[in-house]
């Protein structure tokens, strides 16, 4: 999820150009590592196929990096020029503002029913689905098999075993025994996985009824443990966790410098390309297997330009089993439809088999509280501040209490 193409590409269609033609405008995020494998390549091919069978519709696609795409859509909406479709990271604020079509207004019954129910549920704002899942992933613990063999250790299943393994790796001179990326790029992900691994109840950032519980006792215990047992014992590497970004941690793993870290499917390609021998196991919990974190990115349909029928027809094509599988396989992500997920699970292809550890975790994984319009503000606050909780002299309870206050205030503003 890197590399901005930074280009607006108008894709030619095969239909007529009379006044009855409709042009749909889609803004999408880039999942590629370079222009050569960027998402523009995927959309170019898909739109060409669609337009050849639908001569009355053209589709213009603009692809931007994840650093820019959410801001770009926000600017378009604020300027009164919303796209017809946006494939970005969050939908709830647009739904709350009345700017989106409900999924049921644009998707066929068949397509909507094929979406994985857990993801569809996460796409709801006030019990109506507006966010249409487009891509999904889960997290597992990656470990370097070569480094583990040299240290004479096995993959951990509990926090105590993880700390012991990290100490053994450090004794062998491993640069990052456990890489803990709490830097501003994606700190909200690493944080949530650790909150889930320490949870006896709740869903990480929220409790069982969906109320923010960032400063709960169990979450404070989790960050006390990270600060004292990993960071404080010099088991997380030379870069302070609050300054270590996910992309840099992944790159270090691919360079053979990391013993273990939480990772998503993108890391498979990076590590394989560098010849790293790695294994994948569920993230350890305090005393055993932890709940996994799931992440979904979202497609949404804006009301401003109308075109509900054309939007729906195009989305039915986008969400066909063939196209969902094509995208998932191209970028190492998990299918968001039951039909494509079943096909991938049954496949004997190596590129599908390697995703099964992630696919197996998806049905029981916990997602960010994306149905809250306050989540964007809370996520930004976590990215900015959570690294301070494990810094020397830092106070986990103090940082978590401040984040809870931010979340409560954001929730109150949105409710008002």
Name the residue ranges covered by the structural domains of the chain.
Answer: 7-136+295-362, 140-291+374-415
Is the pLDDT at 106 greater than 80, yes or no?
yes
**Intrachain domains 7-136+295-362 and 140-291+374-415 with the same fold:** yes
Q: Does the model's pTM come out above 0.75?
A: yes
Chain position carrying tokens 């916990």: 366
Q: Is the CB of residue 307 less than 8 Å from the CB of residue 82?
A: no
> Residue 305 CA to chain centroid, in angstroms?
29
Q: What is the C-alpha separation between 214 and 223, in angstroms, rounded?
A: 11
Query: CB-based burial of residue 392 (10 Å sphere; 0-12 exposed, 13-18 middle, 19+ buried)?
Result: exposed
pLDDT digits (tens, 9 = 90+) for 118-155: 899 999 999 999 999 999 999 999 999 999 999 999 99
35 or 167: whose pLDDT is higher?
Answer: 167
Is 7-136+295-362 a CATH 3.30.360.10 domain?
A: no
Question: How confident is the model at residue 16, as a pLDDT?
Answer: 33
Report the pLDDT value the prediction gives residue 414, as an integer from 0 to 100.
Answer: 64
What value does the mean pLDDT take over residues 97-110? Answer: 97
Q: 22-29 and 124-125 as β-strands: parallel, antiparallel, unpaired?
A: unpaired
% the chain with pLDDT above 90: 75
Cα 6 to Cα 319: distance, rounded to the nearest angstrom: 25
| 49 against 2, higher pLDDT | 49
Give the three-class secondary structure for 252: helix
Task: Quote the pLDDT of residue 13.
Answer: 35
Number of C-alpha atoms within 13 angstroms, CB side, residue 382?
Answer: 25
Pull the structure tokens for residue 416. 């008002």
pLDDT at residue 415, as a whole number: 61
**Mean pLDDT for the chain overall:** 90
* pLDDT bracket for residue 202 (50, 70, 90): low
Q: Per CATH, the architecture of 140-291+374-415 is what?
A: 3-Layer(aba) Sandwich (3.40)
pLDDT tens digits, 287-330 = 877 788 998 999 999 999 999 999 999 999 999 999 999 999 98
pLDDT value at residue 287: 83
């Amino acid at each position: 999820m890197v590399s901005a193409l930074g280009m607006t590409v108008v894709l030619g269609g095969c239909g007529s150009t009379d006044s009855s033609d409709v042009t749909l405008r889609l803004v999408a995020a880039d999942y590629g590592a370079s222009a050569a494998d960027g998402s523009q390549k995927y959309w170019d091919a898909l739109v060409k196929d669609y337009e050849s069978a639908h001569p009355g519709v053209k589709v213009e696609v603009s692809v931007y990096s994840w650093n820019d795409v959410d801001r770009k859509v926000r600017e378009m909406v604020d300027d009164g020029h919303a796209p017809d479709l946006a494939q970005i990271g969050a939908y709830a604020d647009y739904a709350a503002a009345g700017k989106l079509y409900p999924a049921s207004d644009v998707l066929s019954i068949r397509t909507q029913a094929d979406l994985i129910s857990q993801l569809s549920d996460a796409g709801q704002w006030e019990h109506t689905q507006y966010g249409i899942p487009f891509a999904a992933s889960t997290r597992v613990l990656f470990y370097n098999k070569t480094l583990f063999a040299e240290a004479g250790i096995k993959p951990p299943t509990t926090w105590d075993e993880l700390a012991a393994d990290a100490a053994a790796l450090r004794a062998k001179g491993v640069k990052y025994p456990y890489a803990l990326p709490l830097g501003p790029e994606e700190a909200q992900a690493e944080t949530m996985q650790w909150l889930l691994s320490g949870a006896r109840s709740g869903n990480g950032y929220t409790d069982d009824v969906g109320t923010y519980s960032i400063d709960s006792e169990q979450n404070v215990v989790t960050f006390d443990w990270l600060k004292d047992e990993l960071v404080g014992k010099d088991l997380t590497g030379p870069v302070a966790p609050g300054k270590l970004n996910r992309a840099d941690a992944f790159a270090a793993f691919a360079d053979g410098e990391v013993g273990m870290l939480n990772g998503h499917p993108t890391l498979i390609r990076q590590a394989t390309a560098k010849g790293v021998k790695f294994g994948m196991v569920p993230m350890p919990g305090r005393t055993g297997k932890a709940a996994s974190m799931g992440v979904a990115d979202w497609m949404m349909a804006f009301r401003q330009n109308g075109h509900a029928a054309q939007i729906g027809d195009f989305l039915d094509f986008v969400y066909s089993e063939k196209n969902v599988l094509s995208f998932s396989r191209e970028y190492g992500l998990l299918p968001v439809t039951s039909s494509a997920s079943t096909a991938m699970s049954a496949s004997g292809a190596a590129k599908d088999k390697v995703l099964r550890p992630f696919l197996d975790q998806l049905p029981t994984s916990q997602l960010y509280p994306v149905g809250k319009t306050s989540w964007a503000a809370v996520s930004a606050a976590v990215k900015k501040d959570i690294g301070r909780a494990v810094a020397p002299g830092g106070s986990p309870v103090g940082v978590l209490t401040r984040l809870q206050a931010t979340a409560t205030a954001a929730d109150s503003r949105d409710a008002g």
